[in-house]
Amino acid sequence: MTQPFSIAIAGLGTVGSGVLALLARNGDLIAARAGRPVVIAAVSARDRLRDRGVPLSGIRWYDDPEAMVADPGVDAVVELIGGADGVARQVVQAAIAAGKPVVTANKALLALHGVELAAWAEQRHVPLAFEAAVAGGIPVIKLLREGLAGNRIERIAGILNGTCNFILTTMREGGGAFADVLAEAQRLGYAEADPSFDIDGIDAAHKLAILAALAFGRPVSFESVHVEGIRCISPLDVAFAAEFGFRIKLLGLAQQTERGIAARVHPCLVPEGSSLAGVEGVFNAVVAEGDFVGRVMIEGRGAGAGPTASAVVADVIDVARGRTTPVWGAASGALSDAPSAPMSDHAGCYYLRIMVTDRPGVIADVTAALRDEGVSLESMLQRGRAPGEAVPVVLVTHETNETHMGAALARIALLDAVQEAPTLIRIEQI
């Protein structure tokens, strides 16, 4: 009789409970695909009495997840606690030390400590799988690391945070203010009580750092990702973007440039007809451009119990089957040492919204600042007439670079007539 594959699950929250439910419902087909039954031998969470909506009878309970890792009846450990440090990191380290394969959904851990964990896992020949860490149910890790392994990847771009995409979609559809739509997202369970990780772009940057490492075959480097969030986006920007034929999306973008790998997360204007513009609500999507395959795009649910459990269980099946791939797609020693390109290298077109006092000569001052820094304009829009009051002026530039744009912006911000910090959004043709 085939020996079952016994897993321990650390963390029984949204994802952990989802994994239990999935294994219970699809046990037969998972056994067939794994080549042996997958059984849950042990679980750990903080509150033993909490109803998880899934039966836990017959499963060993541990208050201490590290002690669970040492359970001799456990073949592999699934870490679903979360957080870059603390107990999640200790559990993963303990499992690698014990020679037990690890499956995790923890993007923060991978983005911040992925280099050291991968090297250590490799040294000890322990699989470390993390499909669920990026874009939930979308198999983007497999896409980049295995499906496109024969390609030189030129660029990746993605909508990597469902909370931000929900907020931006809802603002566009209903015209609501950022703070109101954020509160609605919180009520619906799409945003955390403390939403800063999502809306300030950190979560997307963790995921982009992981994707960039896989796409460009280099050690993961979160510090080199330029990060901006969506707090600055107002209903005015959403409406003006539409007038110019764009939608606003928080994108993670990484590409190979002459000066190294450029990785950035920030709000972008994308053409209304583009495929990423059509990815709405809590959905995620990733576009990859390879030298032989061309453009590939995958889209789906980037979070939630079901989609994330789907990715976790795919990894569990791989591990049970003995299918392993180096963590970053190639052995540590074979990874590239390509430098990171600084954000100041970025070139592109820009959307700029300025709130100015409606009086003669203001536009001339603004356009003079742009002209003096070598920034040329493609179009300009001024709406409303309110002498002496603040009115929005929106400018779209031709291609320029961060240095020129930054210098022009600094000058514009100092003008007497400018009432608040200008809003700058980069335009992406993707």
Ligand X SMILES: NC(=O)c1ccc[n+]([C@@H]2O[C@H](COP(=O)([O-])OP(=O)(O)OC[C@H]3O[C@@H](n4cnc5c(N)ncnc54)[C@H](OP(=O)(O)O)[C@@H]3O)[C@@H](O)[C@H]2O)c1
CA distance 230 to 347: 21
Distances (CA, A) of 10 to 15, 61, 319: 10, 10, 17
The residue among 265 and 355 lying less far from ligand X, judged by its C-beta, is 265
DSSP run (H or E) holding 287: strand 283-290
CA distance 361 to 124: 69
The residue among 132 and 143 lying less far from ligand X, judged by its C-beta, is 132
Minimum distance from CB of 91 to ligand X (Å)?
8
Phi first, then psi, for residue 6 (nearest 5°) are -100, 125
CA distance 76 to 84: 20
The residue among 132 and 354 lying less far from ligand X, judged by its C-beta, is 132
Q: State the CB neighbour count (10 A cutoff) for residue 64.
A: 12
The residue among 222 and 240 lying less far from ligand X, judged by its C-beta, is 222
Residues 156/287, Cβ–Cβ less than 8 Å: yes
CA distance 139 to 80: 18
The residue among 4 and 13 lying less far from ligand X, judged by its C-beta, is 13
Q: State the CB neighbour count (10 A cutoff) for residue 179.
A: 9
What b/e readout covers 275-298, taking b as 16+ CB neighbours within 10 angstroms?
ebbebbebbbbbbbbbeeeeebbb
Residues 39/31, Cβ–Cβ less than 8 Å: no
User: Which region, left, alpha or beta, applies to residue 355 given φ > 0 means left and ψ of -120 to 50 means alpha?
Assistant: beta
Catalytic residue among 100, 142, 207, 249: 207
Residues 277/131, Cβ–Cβ less than 8 Å: no
Instruction: By CB under 6 A, name the binding residues for ligand X.
Output: 11-16, 44-47, 50, 65, 80-82, 87, 105-107, 132, 136, 303-304, 308
Minimum distance from CB of 80 to ligand X (Å)?
4
- Rg of the chain (C-alpha set): 24
Q: Which residue is nearest to ligand X (CB)?
A: 13
Exposed/middle/buried for residue 176 (C-beta within 10 Å: 0-12, 13-18, 19+): middle
The residue among 270 and 305 lying less far from ligand X, judged by its C-beta, is 305
CA distance 275 to 297: 9
Residues 253/228, Cβ–Cβ less than 8 Å: no
The residue among 193 and 386 lying less far from ligand X, judged by its C-beta, is 193
Residues 127/319, Cβ–Cβ less than 8 Å: yes
Question: What's the gap between Cα 4 and its chain centre?
Answer: 35
Pairing of strands 226-227, 260-271: parallel
Minimum distance from CB of 158 to ligand X (Å)?
14
CA distance 338 to 18: 39
The residue among 201 and 290 lying less far from ligand X, judged by its C-beta, is 201
Catalytic status, residue 100: no
User: Which residues belong to the active site?
Assistant: 207
